Amino acid sequence: MTQGTTEEIQIVPDHIHSWTDGGSTLYPLSETFISIVDPKPGEYILDLGCGNGEVYFHAAPRLGPRGLMIGIDIKDSNIAEARSRLKKEVQKDWPGVEFLQHDICDLGSLPLLRNEAEGWDVITVASALALLQEPEKAVRHWMHYLRPGGRLVFGVPQPCSGDRRIVAERVSRRSGIQHRSNRDWIVNENSLVRLLGCAGLIVDRMVVFKMHEKHGGGERYHRVEDGEQVFEESFTKHYAEEVRQKAKDLFKEEWKKAAEDGERVREVHGFLVAAARKPADPIGPIELAGGCRCGKVRYTASVSPSPISYCHCQTCRKLSGGPYMPFIDVPSSAVKFAESTALRIYSATEEAERGFCCECGSPIFMKYHNEPDRIGLLMGSVDDDRWDEKLHTQEAHIYLREKAPWFKIPEDGWPRHAAMTDKGEVE
């Protein structure tokens, strides 16, 4: 992917050619989604969270008779619908297909897929990733089924902090209720880049599908005081009577927080598609080592290619004495401390904690409480001789709204964000 470039495609109603029924969320995006998947004749595609088989019906003419597709969905009724649709719509010269009922987070127990030695050419996941509780774990799991050089293409709702469904997710989380979707982690395109990078995939394309108003697209603004009304319109029946009032109050609170300028809540409905590739020659975890200046904090970290972010926030600047702190994002479990007698924790904010050496003052890591599985290691703490360029996948400048006035960012082409969230990119 050219660094920091997200394409935009306008979805106009004219693009609708073959919508057969309303069971698919991919409608009216199917053709555009498939053009990004770009199936080649004879390829093998694994379609995860296949619903009523929408991806198959659009990919089939391109795959041709030598191709193969397996669609997997957890819901029996969706599999039944996909199969009956197949009976009615199948055409000569279309590829073989099977629709199977199964959990896409547990493909290992599916006998048909055990034969994974050669791997699949393509894995598609249209609108199912944002329903999984552990998306990153799922992507790592799917990687085993992809051949080297194989592609993963998935679509998620376009990130938007004011999306009422995300606000409702926050309410459920605060009420200790498991929500059916899990979209709050999709803050912007970088959330996907990071997810893919951490699973060892290379991102080729990132595309926003801008929906037509006819399909609920476009931007809408709501008043901050309308939280109660929005709750009643959309969520009343999601909550049992005994928790409804509490949910409503929490919704109003979260709705208010989602207001960009304290007055208006912005909702955008679109679709964000990422196309990535498993390296033809996969890069296994590389053993890094690092520590502080005096040696009283030492770690090793088994790291796969990971993104690096340059945080320009004021806290990072104060704590480093520099214009930003560069972090490499790695799984917490990959980091082992060989020496930690002088390791201390400092919490500058409620959101995160930072590890540093109390003898020499070197900063070592930062960890967000809401992401206990991830840790940001300070790049400056990594031993130079253990660094491997192959680890370097993506970069971004974040929290530029707090950037030092005296610092000029080099023209490096990486994405630049006002915050970590989608509060807007800055030039």
Ligand X SMILES: C[S@@+](CC[C@H](N)C(=O)[O-])C[C@H]1O[C@@H](n2cnc3c(N)ncnc32)[C@H](O)[C@@H]1O
Q: Which stretch binds Zn ion (CB under 5 A): 104-112, 139-147, 333-341, 356-364?
A: 356-364
Instruction: Count helices and strands (H / E) in the chain.
Output: 9, 20
Residues 14-53 that bind ligand X (CB under 6 A): 24-26, 49-51
Nearer to ligand X by Cβ, of 131 and 426: the residue is: 131
How many C-beta atoms surround the C-beta of residue 84 within 10 A?
12
128 binds, among ligand X, Zn ion, none (CB under 5 to 8 A by kind): ligand X
For residue 338, the SS3 value is strand
Written as six digits, the tokens of 15 are 């693009």
Cβ burial of 55 (10 Å; 0-12, 13-18, 19+) is buried
Among 122, 156, 192, 292, contact with Zn ion (rule: CB under 5 A): 292
x/- track of binding to ligand X for residues 113-132 (CB under 6 A):
-------------xxx--xx
Q: Per-residue b/e over 398-410, b at no fewer than 16 CB within 10 Å?
A: bbbebbeeeeeee
Q: Nearest distance from residue 362's CB to Zn ion, in Å?
A: 5
Nearer to ligand X by Cβ, of 142 and 235: the residue is: 142
402 binds, among ligand X, Zn ion, none (CB under 5 to 8 A by kind): none
CA R_g for the chain: 23
Q: Nearest distance from residue 238's CB to ligand X, in Å?
A: 17
236: Cβ contacts below 8 Å, ≥ 6 apart: 244
Please report whether residue 396 would count as binding Zn ion according to CB under 5 A: no
311 binds, among Zn ion, ligand X, none (CB under 5 to 8 A by kind): Zn ion
x/- track of binding to Zn ion for residues 174-213 (CB under 5 A):
----------------------------------------
x/- track of binding to Zn ion for residues 360-379 (CB under 5 A):
x-------------------
126 binds, among Zn ion, ligand X, none (CB under 5 to 8 A by kind): ligand X
d(CA 177, CA 192): 25
Q: Which residues pair with 222 in a beta bridge?
A: 265
d(CA 89, CA 406): 64
x/- track of binding to ligand X for residues 50-89 (CB under 6 A):
xx--xx----------------xxxx--x-----------
Cβ burial of 411 (10 Å; 0-12, 13-18, 19+) is exposed
d(CA 296, CA 166): 43
106 binds, among Zn ion, ligand X, none (CB under 5 to 8 A by kind): none
- Please check whether residue 266 is in contact with residue 230, taking contact to mean a CB–CB distance below 8 angstroms: no
Nearer to ligand X by Cβ, of 160 and 288: the residue is: 160
303 binds, among ligand X, Zn ion, none (CB under 5 to 8 A by kind): none
Torsion of CA 304, 305, 307, 308, to 10 degrees: 90
Question: Both ends of the chain: CA-CA distance in Å?
Answer: 19
Q: Which stretch binds Zn ion (CB under 5 A): 189-197, 222-230, 282-290, 291-299?
A: 291-299
112 binds, among Zn ion, ligand X, none (CB under 5 to 8 A by kind): none
CA 47 to chain centre: 18
Q: Which residues bind ligand X (CB under 6 A)?
A: 24-26, 49-51, 54-55, 72-75, 78, 103-105, 126-128, 131-132
Please give the residue ranges that form the binding site for Zn ion (CB under 5 A).
Answer: 292, 294, 296, 311, 313, 316, 357, 359-360
